[in-house]
Amino acid sequence: MTYIQVTGGKKLHGDIEIQGSKNAVLPILAASLLHNGVTTIHHCPIISDVECMIRILECIGCKVKKEHSTLIVDASQLNSYRIPDEYVSRMRSSIILLGPLLGRQHFVTISYPGGCTIGARPIDLHVKGLRRLNVDIVEANELLTCMTTKLQGNEVNLSFPSVGATENILLAAVLAEGTTCINNVAKEPEIEELCRFLQNMGAKIKGIGTDTLVVEGVKQADLHDSEFTVKADRIVTGTYMAAVAATGGKVFLRGAVKEHMEEVIQVVDQMGCITKATPEGILINQKARPNAYDLLRTKPYPGFPTDLQSPFMAALSIAKGNSILIENIFEARYKVVKELLAMGANIEIDGKVAIVRGVNALKGAAVRSYELRGGAALVIAGLVAKGVTNIHSISYIQRGYEDICGDLQKLGANILYRQEEADQE
Ligand code: UD1
């Protein structure tokens, strides 16, 4: 098995290109199923979650061509109503295939979704929303069977602005008859990107960027071949910002979008960084050991993203002073704490609250990632630790980062992929 080895102590310097957004491309790939033709998507990240979505599309009859970071999806010949269990258990986002497949085929079955181990992650909001659009959903034996005679537009009120539920209902509404009004939607930039992609394909959507999306259903024939370029991944951007805040140095994050990063920029500013945004990207400069951050709460966008809580916890673990973190979105997102403690961090957990007491230094250790962003947090911890850190179970990290070692090597870090000795024999 491959693991990541980091020898800490180097400041980061240089310029890296930020990969396309995972959380934008996954629903966009699902949305390509709505059209009985060809969709071209540029700047797709080459990560295992995207590979998984490609396999699912192929299993249900799509032809997918990959040319570097461009994916060309031909969804003209769908031939299955079942989303294969093997991939569903690997990737929770597969649930968002329900909306487009109901639009296209009126029938779909899927087993309960898997994904990162960061809490219960229920799907009740998806189910309730789709039922409002005239979908019958039967839940039995860990399987959801969804069918409709005709998708019918309706008003849907989300009790929480769930990203996935917003996407699923939006995708179902595109080919529904009449108007769908979705209230209290998620406002994450990836929702806006999905809306722009759908508009570009011929869908009719109003209210983009607000709390309410209004979708005027169109006919299958109104959708057409389209081309779209995915924006930079704001979570990868934020991970590298946390890394620079921790190690010190000066890095240009090419392609990073300032408007998506306002809350994160405000946090790194307080940690002592100086940032400068240009139309080409964001420059981050950190000269000293980071300052602590009084109270960091994760919230739906535009609040601080839950996906960056662990990377920032790692950076704050060596800050000057104490920080308090409150995780409001996923209850099990503190699994990485055990590993950070093994590296010498001083962190106390009480339910949603983490008290991070900054220590002078972390020490290298053998650690394990349990989920994607927690894994990235361990890489950051390794970058600032004294000595060598070996991070195991890196397949979680590869779900979301194209090449975290390659990126950080370019910035001068002492980091590489290694093979377990048993594998080399
Ligand atoms: C998406 C992102 C993930 C990010 C999260 C929150 C993708 C592929 N993943 O995940 O990286 O961390 O948004 O920004 O885009 N909930 C319910 N019932 C539901 C659905 C959600 O109770 O039916 C709850 C969840 O348990 C969680 C909260 O709502 O507590 C947020 O979940 P949601 O916004 O749906 O996140 P995901 O779409 O799963």
Answer CATH for 2-18+291-424 from 3.40.50.800, 3.40.50.720, 3.20.20.30, 3.65.10.10 = 3.65.10.10
Q: Is the CB of 26 under 6 A from ligand 1?
A: yes
The tokens for 12 are 């980061």
Indicate which residue's Cα is closest to atom 25 of ligand 1: 121
Distance in Å, CA 375 to ligand 1 centroid: 19
pLDDT score, position 420: 84
Nearest residue (CA) to ligand 1, atom 38: 164
Within this chain, domains 2-18+291-424 and 22-229 share the same CATH topology: yes
By CB atoms closer than 10 A (0-12, 13-18, 19+), residue 120 is: exposed
122 lines ligand 1 (CB under 6 A): yes
Cβ–ligand 1 distance for 302 under 6 Å, the answer: no
Q: Is ligand 1 within 6 A of the CB of residue 163?
A: yes
Give residue 425's pLDDT.
Answer: 45
Q: Any idea what DSSP says for residue 320?
A: B
**Which residue CA neighbors atom 21 of ligand 1 most closely?**
162
Grouped pLDDT means (10 residues each) for the chain, 425 residues:
96 98 98 98 97 96 97 96 89 92 96 59 90 94 92 98 97 98 98 98 98 98 98 98 98 98 98 98 97 97 98 98 96 93 98 97 97 97 98 96 98 96 58
Catalytic residue numbers? 116
Task: Count the residues in the chain.
Answer: 425
Mutation to probe ligand 1, out of 88, 160, 236 (largest number of atoms < 8 A from CB)? 160
Is residue 50 lining ligand 1, measured as CB closer than 6 Å? no
Question: For ligand 1, is residue 330 a contact (CB within 6 Å)?
Answer: yes
**Residue 119, pLDDT score:** 55
**Pairwise CA distance, residues 156 & 129, whole Å:** 6
pLDDT of residue 422: 65
Let me know: does 38 contact 72? Beta carbons within 8 Å: yes
Q: What is the pLDDT of residue 142?
A: 81
Domain assignments of the chain as residue spans, ordered by start = 2-18+291-424, 22-229
- For domain 22-229, say whether CATH 3.40.50.2300 is its number: no
The tokens describing 400, both together, are 């979301």
- Residue of minimum CA distance from atom 15 in ligand 1: 23
For residue 344, what are its two tokens?
């010498």
Q: State the closest ligand 1 atom to the C-alpha of 123, by its place in the atom list counted from 1.
A: 23
User: Is 24's C-beta closer than 6 angstroms to any atom of ligand 1?
Assistant: no
Answer yes or no: is the C-beta of 283 below 6 A from any ligand 1 atom.
no
Closest C-alpha among 179, 101, 177, 164 to residue 137: 101
Contacts of 142 (CB under 8 A, 6+ apart): 111, 112
Smallest CA separation from ligand 1 atom 12, residue: 307
> What pLDDT score does 203 carry?
98
- Residue of 97, 121, 192 to test ligand 1 pocket, by largest number of atoms within 8 Å of CB: 121
What is residue 327's DSSP assignment?
-
> Rounded CA gap, 182 and 169, in Å?
8
Ligand 1 binding pocket includes 234 (Cβ within 6 Å): no
Nearest ligand 1 atom to alpha carbon 235: 11
- Residues near 401 by Cβ (< 8 Å), separated by ≥ 6? 19, 47, 236, 239, 376, 407
Closest ligand 1 atom to Cα of 161? 34
- Kindly state the tokens that stand for 56: 């699912």
